[in-house]
Structure 1
Amino acid sequence: MSEITTKLYPVTGMHCAACAGNAERIVRKQEGVESASVNLAAATLTVTYHADIVSPQQLKEAVMKIGFDLIIDEDNSVQEQEEAEQSYYGQLKRKTVVAWIFALPVAVLGMFLMNV
């Protein structure tokens, strides 16, 4: 009989319920996985699997194929998840600043210089 393992892994890149559903569905389809459940609010995946059939690395590769990342390093998982979130929010901040830089002149032209 194979060893059944239950683990909790942080997931990065999920932003909505559809993302969580996709990550959960792709993990459930892996051979050797008994159950998988994603908590979107905590950005975690709880998976019960047969350790001799599927490895955490295989689960990570499956999740990465659909655009998310599974942090399987148990020693630094919280730190890696926080770094990934900070990186993502930094990108959003830069994109917002660039959008404002381009939107402000258009708004000024549209509002005050319509007749020019």
Structure 2
Amino acid sequence: MNLLPFLCAGWLFLVGCYALATSRNLIHAVGALAVCQSSTYVLLLAVGYRSGGTAPVFSDVPPGARPVVDPVVQALTLTDVVVGATVTALLLALVVQIAKRHGTVDPDELRELRG
């Protein structure tokens, strides 16, 4: 088993978390969350990878004749991409509304939102 994809996923997650923690801009924070989300794509694809595997199409090959990659993990990754894009779009729309209402995207200047 190759550890490189797992290390890459961990590195992407840590970079995204660091960028989120040091962000002084809401748009930058949304981008950092998108980087964290992309680490899950790499992790899911690494879990479903099979060395020497082919696409899971069985129309002309009897089952068990060759190794195939896991189609469930591929479907989960595609779902993760769609959910990530939707969440990013929603967060960016909220940032636009905050910028319109408060005139800034700096979290420190948004004193009105503190409870």
State the TM-score bracket (shorter-chain normalisation): 0.3 to 0.5
Tell me the TM-score normalized by structure 1: 0.38
Tell me the TM-score normalized by structure 2: 0.39
Whichever structure has more helix as a proportion of its residues is 2
